[in-house]
Amino acid sequence: MIVASPQYLAKHGSPSTIAELEGHNCLGFNFRRSVSSWPMRDGGRVTEQPVTGNFLGNSGEAVRRMAVRGAGLARIGLFHAIEDIRAGRLMRILEDVSPPETEEVFAVHTGGQTMAPRLRALLDFVLPRMRASLAAQ
């Protein structure tokens, strides 16, 4: 989803069309596989909209923090933004043209009688949060 702080939107305005993204500071990621565009729904099909900004973060948390501080628009996952949205620190924008996206996560158990404690701890931590995130959508 695309989010921004109320302070950023008050100062720079809220884009109401895909084309208006061009005039905004779009916070991005510096992962090797990241791209400088955001998928957007345009006339029934999904296209890649080029975006630019002055910040590239190495995690969703870093990009979220910059967005909360009013640095620009961010395209981050619901699980990163849900608490800030509920608290009014971030607002969703361009919902009608921002397609949902999923990313697969795998936890591998190779068999045997017992599961590795670190995998069990990961699953015990992640699963309730993922379920809550999905229920909030």
pLDDT in tens, 56-93: 999 999 999 999 999 999 999 888 999 999 999 999 99
pLDDT at 73: 97
Averaged pLDDT of the chain: 88
Q: How do beta strands 26-29 and 73-75 pair?
A: parallel
Residue type, 49: Q
What are the residues whose beta carbons fall under 8 Å from the beta carbon of 52, sequence distance 6 or more? 25, 26, 36
pLDDT at 38: 86
Q: What is the mean pLDDT of residues 127-137?
A: 82
What are the residues whose beta carbons fall under 8 Å from the beta carbon of 66, sequence distance 6 or more? 27, 55, 57, 72, 74
DSSP H or E segment with residue 127: helix 117-136
pLDDT at 112: 79
